[in-house]
Amino acid sequence: MTRLLLTAIAESQGASGLVLSALLAPAVPLAWALDRLAELASSRWWSAHLGLCQARCPRGHVVELGPASWECAACKLSFDGHAFEPCPYCSSIAYAVLCACSLPVLNPLWDGDNGD
């Protein structure tokens, strides 16, 4: 987001560009702070759950959670990473992954990180 704002400011030229820059400039520190906060939240999230590479389905089968290739349930795009990692495209977090036996392994982070 910060880069986007800076690009918009850098590319703006002329009188209208000046107005645009004046409008956008105060937003840069805010955007930067938000970016850092998001990074911090995601790194904390990640370090708190680094050990979570496997889980067990209700029948006791071991289900690998990654790193692997996953399809986001929300946007249907594939990404490499952890099963319960936020999707890099739409930021949605998988509610569950399916075991080979078709029973779901629920995401233990879902309640804590997403409210109800």
Query: Two tokens at 80?
Result: 């490499």
Nearest alpha-carbon partner for 82 in 103, 115, 55: 55
Is residue 106 at the binding interface for Zn ion, with CB under 5 A as the rule?
Answer: no
Nearer to Zn ion, 6 or 103 (CB): 103
Axis crossing angle, helix 27-48 with helix 2-11, rounded to the nearest 10 = 150
Q: How far is the CB of 13 from Zn ion (least distance, A)?
A: 36
Sequence-separated (6 or more) residues with CB below 8 Å from residue 2: 28, 31, 32, 35
Enumerate residues 59-88 that contact Zn ion by CB under 5 A. Answer: 59, 61, 72, 74-75, 87
User: Binding residues for Zn ion, how many (CB under 5 A)?
Assistant: 12
Is residue 99 at the binding interface for Zn ion, with CB under 5 A as the rule?
Answer: yes
Q: For binding to Zn ion (CB under 5 A), which residues are involved?
A: 57, 59, 61, 72, 74-75, 87, 89-90, 99, 101, 103
